[in-house]
Amino acid sequence: MSSITSIGQSSGSSASSGGSSVASQIASLTKQIQNLTQQVKELSDSSELTDEQKAEQQQMLESQIQMLQVQIAQLQQAQTEKAQATEETSTTASQAIADGVNRPTERNSLNVYI
């Protein structure tokens, strides 16, 4: 039971660490999900607990897995939004350049009427 508590605590600390990259955070969360999944498998093989205790622990482990999956989804969404924002700013910056020759500015334009 102490291993369950330690995994829950480590998931909270990894989610709050903003200094590491998104990919490493996702990898860490995925590893925690694998550990919790392994604990669910081991729980079904355990003969020390009653069926009710097994059900309670399985429900707790599955809720922790769901929370980790939500954290992964949030990280991926934030990464996607950041990439889109970066792409939009670079596209806008490249389009905004007006050199006055092929893309005239307001001060440097010709009105030619034939």
Instruction: Examine residue 112 and state whether it is found in any structural domain, yes or no.
Output: no
Q: Has residue 14 been placed in a domain?
A: yes
pLDDT in tens, 90-99: 766 555 555 5
Query: Which residue range is the domain that position 22 belongs to?
Result: 2-96
Report field, pTM of the whole predicted structure over 0.85: no
Residue 53 lies in a domain: yes
Does residue 11 belong to any structural domain of this protein?
Answer: yes
Q: How many domains is the chain built from?
A: 1
Q: Is the residue at 101 inside a domain?
A: no
Pick from 19, 109, 10: nearest CA to 67: 10
Residue 13's pLDDT is what? 43
Over residues 39-65, the pLDDT tens digits come to 999 988 888 888 899 999 999 999 999
Residue 72 domain-assigned (yes or no): yes
| 108, part of any domain | no
Report if residue 113 sits inside a domain: no
